[in-house]
Amino acid sequence: MQTTQYTAEILNELQRTAALMNGDQTEQLVNGILEAKKVLVAGAGRSGFMAKSFAMRMMHMGLDPYVVGETVTPNLEDGDIFIVGSGSGETKSLVAMAEKAKSIGAFVAAITIAPNSTIGNLADIVVEIPAQTKSGEDTGNKSIQPMGSLFEQSLLLTYDSVILRLMERKGMNSETMYGRHANLE
């Protein structure tokens, strides 16, 4: 197969995955973000990169987002939302963070392949992304891509879609957000 054919197949996989997702779950996430004082995000590996890009866009919107583990991240408090992206829902460091967030009284949102995982069971909101697991386990939505690629790509698209919905709800557009874009270059 040529590279462009792989690209087309990846796009087909992403469309199929999006069609299998539950829109009510993502609306709950949007509402949770709008109701929160601060938004803290976390993920491990590539999912962590997706969380960072999500935090950046929320900052462009004028929200108060932070990435767990960064030096400027404040403490999590009651009334905040902790959003964790984890395909398996079992990553030990993320499980510990979700448990801590619950003990503080923060709202926990999980975006995962496995809604019945440890993190999924701790979460107040679960957004299920029906994708192949990192180990290749067939969850009913097989991918030609290696490991958790379909989940990670779908995670980014979900985060970007949440941004679009937040923009709509707040009456914002790209021009209003651009004013908060870094301009020190």
Residue positions annotated with a catalytic role: 152
Are 141 and 17 in contact by the 8 Å Cβ rule? The answer is: yes
Q: Which of 69, 116, 109, 108 is nearest to 90 (CA)?
A: 116
Write out the two tokens for 175: 């021009």
Residue 123: how many CB atoms within 10 A of its CB? 24
* 89 vs 94: CA distance, rounded Å: 8
Tokens 């503080």, located at residue: 104
Q: How far apart are the first and last CA of the chain?
A: 41
